[in-house]
Amino acid sequence: MSTSFSQLNKLKARIPEVVNNSQDKLLTQLLEDAEQAILDYTNRSDMLPAMEPLQRELALISYNRIGLEGVSSQNQGGISVQVVEGIPKEIKARLNRYRKVRFR
């Protein structure tokens, strides 16, 4: 598994508060975790270039979930937040075209 430098830069561009390289380790780990989740879901051993935007999307979702581990929903100041576990259904729907069938 290797997260490309451009993937990291593209993810950093979507997170306004990341202005330097101080969070590169965290973001690289999130990209790697997203890649593994995608490969597990699609039953593939390698990422296809077409799946890279979905990898960034999933890594961004994971970044935004930091601090919400173990929380399924939260109410604060009249705002309700629902936390979805795993890969959101919108991303799964886009990944379905890349899934390989597993025979047992």
What residues make up the domain containing 70?
5-98
Single pTM value for the model: 0.80
Phi/psi of residue 19, each to 5°?
-110, -10
- What CA–CA distance (Å, rounded) separates 46 from 48? 6
Q: Which residue has the higher pLDDT, 19 or 60?
A: 60
Query: For 23-68, what is each residue's pLDDT tens digit?
Result: 899 999 999 999 999 999 999 999 999 999 999 999 999 998 887 6
Assess whether pLDDT exceeds 80 at residue 70.
Answer: no
Does a structural domain hold residue 103? no
* pLDDT score, position 104: 67
Residue 82 lies in a domain: yes
Q: How many C-beta atoms surround the C-beta of residue 28 within 10 A?
A: 17
The number of distinct structural domains making up the chain is 1
Say if 40 falls within a structural domain: yes
d(CA 67, CA 49): 30
3-state secondary structure of 51: helix
Q: Establish if 104 belongs to a structural domain.
A: no
Note whether residue 69 is domain-resident.
yes
Q: What percent of the chain has pLDDT over 70?
A: 81
User: Is residue 12, in this structure, part of any structural domain at all?
Assistant: yes
